Structure 1
Amino acid sequence: MPIANALTIDVEDYFQVSAFAPHIARSEWDARECRVERNVARILAMLERHDTRATFFTLGWIAERYPQLVRDIVAAGHELASHGYGHQRASELSAAEFRADIARAKAILEDVSGQAVLGYRAPSFSIGTGNLWALDCIAEAGYRYSSSIYPIRHDHYGMPDAPRFAHRTNGDLIEVPITTLRVLNRNLPSSGGGYFRLLPYALSRWMLQRVNEQDGEAAVFYFHPWEIDVGQPRIPGIGAKTRFRHYLNIGRMEARLERLLGDFRWDRMDRIFLDRVPAAGPLGH
């Protein structure tokens, strides 16, 4: 049977994207048109068509305002996990602020869903060499795994020398890095997001297949609800790079996801990684 890969959705709205922070104040969030409910509903319908279960890393801010969205995710058999409360980068918070953020989000998500929340993903993959203390905070808050480190070089995030596959960090916390493909001593992004919209679908599919077949590992794929929303408001004043990264090929994203769901086997993060990682060292290495 083919390897089951982890399908993950970072549940945030278009105005909460980190790249838009200089242009949209947090104080404006409640006044913005919120489109996350309809986009998550479309995603849930797509997953149901493919009989696929996924992990939804959800902001506490979203869960507070749209509790039915959270309940719909859980009722459909998906894993509910934490994306923090207000989409603040871990690298921009003190240890005390970070602890408060992830504890607040966990409490809200568990209260709304009635279920334990075991997983956490830092906004913008903002855990790296400069704030590895955050992993201790995540474990102390009661999470069992994190998916917060991206082993690539990027202008906003990345820890290229980090292990590429799931491993225990310290104690019982499992870190499940975002998937990369190792080519010529360099890690190439191969796990979704803007790269999936940028690259030809055949190349993205090939990279995931290589991770499954060459490394023998489960891949972690991610995307956001706003990435299928062609009708989202355009944010004025943003730079050309930000505009390119955010809006590129949004109109093609849903069809590509449909193909992806058909081409690979998918499941939730907790089912794939919890209890599979040995007590020391990365999984399979």
Structure 2
Amino acid sequence: MQLAEPRCNALTVDVEDYFHVAAFDATISQTQWHSLPQRVERNTDILLQQFADHQATATFFVLGWVAERFPQLVKKIHAAGHEVASHGYAHAKATVQSAAEFQQDIHRAKALLEDLTGAAVLGYRAPSFSINKSNEWAFALLQQEGYLYSSSTYPVVHDLYGTPDWPQQPYKRDEGIWECPMPVLNKAGKQWPIAGGGYFRLLPYWLSKKCIDSYLKHSSSPYMFYFHPWEIDPGQPRFNQAPLKSRFRHYTNLTRMEAKLVRLLQDYKWRSMQEVYQPYFA
């Protein structure tokens, strides 16, 4: 009896440095970024090697600010067979931008990434999943700028983001663009975040795996995982002046993350969003 092929899941990486995160917005200003130690290239190189070792391909949502300073890194990601997508240019939340500012940001990032790779950039992820009912106009601008899909919503309740009453499955919006929300697990009348990020780093691996397995068993939609290169870097500089809550979220279990990621790569089959979601986009 021939065994069924394991289900392909979408592996995504938000390529930004440790000082770009929204949790430090009030601690580090954008004018300081250039003067801080840059660690994103080193960390992303480690991920590229891990992905190669485990025959995994991914979608890298690259911040334009990073691409401008590390063009060879973007070319390396593309040359390794991964999908290069856009995380915007300056890591500004879409909820704090005007429509004109947002359009300029997504246009600048897309043009920069396409110049570096020579390939169309089709995907976009808003920093901090910051598209919601207050700025649905963003979808029309993404479509206008030539993006095929967005992965910018998380249907959960969270203090920093969340669209709990929006669709949980990939869907084509009236603006003509696909939205691929982050997966959630529906349990006990609540939508639980199971797509990675800080939750994966904070929770024990067995619990994350149990949640993923339950999702794969009960949902026909693709499973998608996301994280950041800085999450495997316990040696990154510390911002001790940041609020306690922000430091807890950012620094907890950095020493354990890479080993947990390796287990994830071993336990599941991973491909880029373009490949996993192709049946929807076709």
Q: Which residue of 40, 60, 67 maps to 1:63?
A: 67
C-alpha contact (below 8 Å) 2:139/2:175 kept by paired residues: no
Partner of 2:176: 172
Q: Which residue of 19, 22, 26 maps to 2:26?
A: 22
Q: Does the alignment pair 1:151 with 2:155?
A: yes
Q: Does the alignment pair 1:117 with 2:117?
A: no
In the alignment of these two chains, the number of paired residues is 278
Q: Once the two structures are aligned, what percentage of the paired residues are identical?
A: 51
Q: Does the alignment pair 1:238 with 2:242?
A: yes
Displacement after TM superposition at 1:263 (Å): 0.7
C-alpha contact (below 8 Å) 1:211/1:218 kept by paired residues: no
For 1:143 and 1:125, the matched residues in 2 are separated by: 16
C-alpha contact (below 8 Å) 1:13/1:36 kept by paired residues: yes
For 1:136 and 1:259, the matched residues in 2 are separated by: 39
For 1:44 and 1:172, the matched residues in 2 are separated by: 33
Secondary structure in structure 2 of the residue aligned to 1:61: helix
Q: Output one character per residue of 1:177-232: Cα deviation in whole Å (capped at 9) or x when no partner.
A: 01110112211000100000111111111111111111122111000000000100
Q: TM-score, normalised by structure 1?
A: 0.95
Displacement after TM superposition at 1:115 (Å): 1.0
Displacement after TM superposition at 1:47 (Å): 0.2
Displacement after TM superposition at 1:129 (Å): 1.5
C-alpha contact (below 8 Å) 2:75/2:116 kept by paired residues: yes
C-alpha contact (below 8 Å) 2:240/2:247 kept by paired residues: no
Return the letter of the residue paired with 2:218: Q
Q: Does the alignment pair 1:102 with 2:103?
A: no
Q: Which residue of 188, 192, 200 maps to 1:188?
A: 192
Q: Which residue of 220, 224, 228 maps to 2:228?
A: 224
C-alpha contact (below 8 Å) 2:8/2:269 kept by paired residues: yes
Displacement after TM superposition at 1:134 (Å): 0.8
Return the letter of the residue paired with 2:199: Y
Q: Output one character per residue of 1:152-171: Cα deviation in whole Å (capped at 9) or x when no partner.
A: 01111000011111111124
Partner of 2:58: 54
For 1:19 and 1:202, the matched residues in 2 are separated by: 27
For 1:135 and 1:206, the matched residues in 2 are separated by: 34
Q: Which residue of 55, 58, 83 maps to 1:79?
A: 83
Return the letter of the residue paired with 1:18: A
Partner of 1:282: none
Q: TM-score, normalised by structure 2?
A: 0.96
Q: Does the alignment pair 1:260 with 2:264?
A: yes
Partner of 1:34: 38
Q: Does the alignment pair 1:248 with 2:259?
A: no
Displacement after TM superposition at 1:275 (Å): 4.2
For 1:210 and 1:128, the matched residues in 2 are separated by: 27
For 2:205 and 2:18, the matched residues in 1 are separated by: 23
Partner of 1:281: none
Q: Output one character per residue of 1:11-67: Cα deviation in whole Å (capped at 9) or x when no partner.
A: 000011111111111111111110000000000000000011000000111111100
Question: Which runs of 5 or more residues in structure 2 are unaligned?
Answer: none
Q: Which residue of 120, 125, 131 maps to 1:127?
A: 131
Q: Does the alignment pair 1:89 with 2:93?
A: yes
For 1:58 and 1:79, the matched residues in 2 are separated by: 10
